Chains A and B, each alone.
Chain A
Amino acid sequence: MIIIVSVLFYFLSTAAYIAYFFIQKNYLYKIGFYLLLTGLFFHSTDFIFKFTQINVFPINSLQDTLLLAAIAIPISFMLFQYKLNLKILGGYAALSTLFITIIAIFLPTQRSAEIQNLFKNSWLASHVIIIFMGNAFLSLACGAGLLYLIQEYTIKTKHNRFFFKRLPSLELLDSAGYTSIIMGFTLLSLGMIIGFTYGKIVWGKFWTWSPKEVCTSVTWILYSALIHERLTVGWRGRRSAIMAIIGFVLTIFTFLGIIYIRYA
């Protein structure tokens, strides 16, 4: 299975990033970055391979879904790294991808025969891809938020020089978190619109009060409140970081909830 190879690369990438964090040699994060890229390559190959095998966008089993969610994280990090120079977040991205991929491997592979219609499938596929990319960005925001809280704590308490030296500036962490939230929120909104339209086409209704719709909307409202407060009264720093973490926890909760309802 190709996916095992990518797990191996994700593992090595995580190790390289951890080593970078401790030793602070630049070549280490570069190695980490390329290992992550290689892992992503094998991961995508695995996905495309499945696609050609079953001829439908492979999101019909729990494992497929989670593997797709995992793919989105390194991709979003690559895009993110292109804009902002926040190397250490690569370690977070590699670790979370590794974690999700390993969980996915142990999940059931049985596919539900629910969606075979190609038209419906492409609607669902774009909905899922966009939502997952959005979630990946929100997870990066959560990571930046965690790092922000650690760095803020070290600066406020004035003692722990270990993290102080190794973590980037508060400003960078804050703006990186905010950029990720804007990206994630935009994609989330777009994905939700597609989802609603899809619902209208298939079930004839935009809104069905299903738990997943309710949960997603709550998450969406939370993020829109965060962005609104930031733009008007300048919610930044600590509060923004905590909100980003809560928002992402809620996102995971929604995701797990959906999976539970769908596959249990």
Chain B
Amino acid sequence: MHEIVVLGLNHKSAPIEIREKLAFSKDEALSFLEQLQYSDIIKEMLVISTCNRVEIVAGIENKLYGVDAIKTLISKFKQLPLNQFENLLYIYSGNTAVRHVFRVASSLDSMMIGEPQILGQIKEAYKLSISKKSTGVILNRLIHRAFFVSKRVRTETGIGDHAVSISYAAVELARKIFGTVENKKVLLIGAGEMAEIAVEHLIRNKASDILVANRTFERGMELAQKFNGKAISFEEIDGALKFVDIIISSTASPDIVISRDKVKGVMRPRKNRPIFFIDIAVPRDIDPEINKIDNAYVYDIDDLSGIIEENIEERQKEAFKAERIIDEAVVNFSKWYESLAMVPTIIDLKNKIESLAQCELSKTLHSLKHLSNNDSQAITIMTRAIINKILHDPISFLKTDGCQIDKTVYTDLTRKLFKLDG
């Protein structure tokens, strides 16, 4: 029976320089999985490669040689000397490996706990394995259980709730103000990575018109094109305040770009529709006093970071609950895995009894020629029923209690008792 092992490195165990050298692209992963057919020791394999981790999940025949076999395989495939990465690897086997896979799938091992991408990445990795038929009974079961556990963790704990990045936090806030971001007009003042991510995130949530104001109009045009929006000049900002709903500001200006009085002045023409300022700039672009105006809301970078910090703490609390769900899943998986060891014995037992019965049955039926077809059929059915009844208890014992303690004791006993080994 194959043993489950996990070999890998992640953001905690290895620096980015090594991680990027070992990362597998989709095509690389596919040809790596093909190597499986040349190995006698590695029986099943799955390659998970994301920007934070590279992991090989495998089912191996022999733990002693199997792990080394995988290591050399990686080293050869990536043309990287083993000594460069060997001591950065973590190696798990048995229940620890199962727990690790469950934790990764549930996003407990991620850099940002609870981030949702990892499950999709594992699904993708599993698809590759399926296309190369590189997973068998054990890994299939393991991965399916991992998906199931991950889903449970997500629905039963709050691990994925609450934004943990500036752009998510901004959208979450916008939702609490406007109800929905859909069809809201966005004005981006200045440029900058964080501000642009926030705008992209708003677009994904179906924000409608995007306006971009930049000191250099050309740069503004470029950005506007990227967001499918419209560029306006800096002077036009005041006019735009009358109709935009969300303003994201990130300029290098040392002074305030939008003053309190300007906003105060536009509230009446806006008919007091709410307006939300997200100020990502340092020094700040938006006068914090604007927050005191009715229906106007200002959040600066510190406010947003404060929210994120609280949310991360919240997620960590939820992670404890998730660990409990995972403990339970590991126990269940190991029960199944242990029962797998009994399968050959159970099959042998069944075969032996059935062949004995079959032999006796044909002898008897042969000498009772006067029986009608129906009668002999009834006898055959009865014989099967007797076999099933007799075997039911021993088999269920082997499947449950038999693998609780030392499984070999009971398999050996069964094998001797029924002389299964010839």
Interface residue ranges, A against B (CB under 8 Å): 151, 155-156, 158-159, 161, 164-165, 168-172, 233-239
| Complex alpha-carbon distance, A264 and B178, angstroms | 49
**Residues of chain A within 8 A of B307, CB atoms compared:** 158, 161
**Residues of chain B within 8 A of A156, CB atoms compared:** 291, 297
B176 touches A (CB below 8 Å): yes
**Residues of chain B within 8 A of A161, CB atoms compared:** 307, 310
- Whether A164 pairs with B176 at a CB distance below 8 angstroms is yes
- Stretch of B12-20, B141-149, B229-237, B269-277 contacting A (4+ beta carbons < 8 Å): B269-277
- Whether A158 pairs with B176 at a CB distance below 8 angstroms is no
**Residues of chain B within 8 A of A151, CB atoms compared:** 176
Q: B144-173: contact bitstring with A at CB < 8 Å (1 yes, 0 no)?
A: 000000000000000000100000000001
| Complex alpha-carbon distance, A176 and B175, angstroms | 16
In whole Å, how far is A59's beta carbon from the nearest beta carbon of chain B?
40
- Whether A236 pairs with B295 at a CB distance below 8 angstroms is yes
For window 187-239 of B, CB contacts with A under 8 Å fall at none
For window 281-323 of B, CB contacts with A under 8 Å fall at 291, 294-295, 297, 299, 303, 306-307, 310
In whole Å, how far is B336's beta carbon from the nearest beta carbon of chain A?
31
Give the nearest-CB partner of A157 in chain B.
Answer: B291
Contact of B177 among A170, A235, A236 (CB under 8 A): A170
**Residues of chain B within 8 A of A239, CB atoms compared:** 294
Indicate the size class of the contact surface on chain B: 20 to 34
Q: From DSSP, what is the main secondary structure of chain A's interface residues?
A: helix
In whole Å, how far is B339's beta carbon from the nearest beta carbon of chain A?
35
Pick 23 A–B contacts, CB within 8 A, sort by A. Answer: A151-B176, A155-B176, A155-B297, A156-B291, A156-B297, A158-B303, A158-B306, A158-B307, A159-B306, A161-B307, A164-B176, A165-B162, A169-B175, A170-B176, A170-B177, A170-B178, A170-B179, A172-B179, A233-B271, A233-B272, A235-B272, A236-B272, A236-B295
- Whether B270 pairs with A170 at a CB distance below 8 angstroms is no
In whole Å, how far is B334's beta carbon from the nearest beta carbon of chain A?
31
B392 touches A (CB below 8 Å): no
- Whether B270 pairs with A234 at a CB distance below 8 angstroms is yes
**Residues of chain B within 8 A of A159, CB atoms compared:** 306
Contact of A169 among B179, B294, B303, B310 (CB under 8 A): B179
| Complex alpha-carbon distance, A155 and B173, angstroms | 8
| Complex alpha-carbon distance, A83 and B294, angstroms | 28
B268 touches A (CB below 8 Å): yes
In whole Å, how far is B312's beta carbon from the nearest beta carbon of chain A?
12
**Residues of chain B within 8 A of A158, CB atoms compared:** 299, 303, 306-307
Contact of A155 among B177, B270, B271, B273 (CB under 8 A): B177
In whole Å, how far is B286's beta carbon from the nearest beta carbon of chain A?
14
**Residues of chain A within 8 A of B177, CB atoms compared:** 155, 169-171
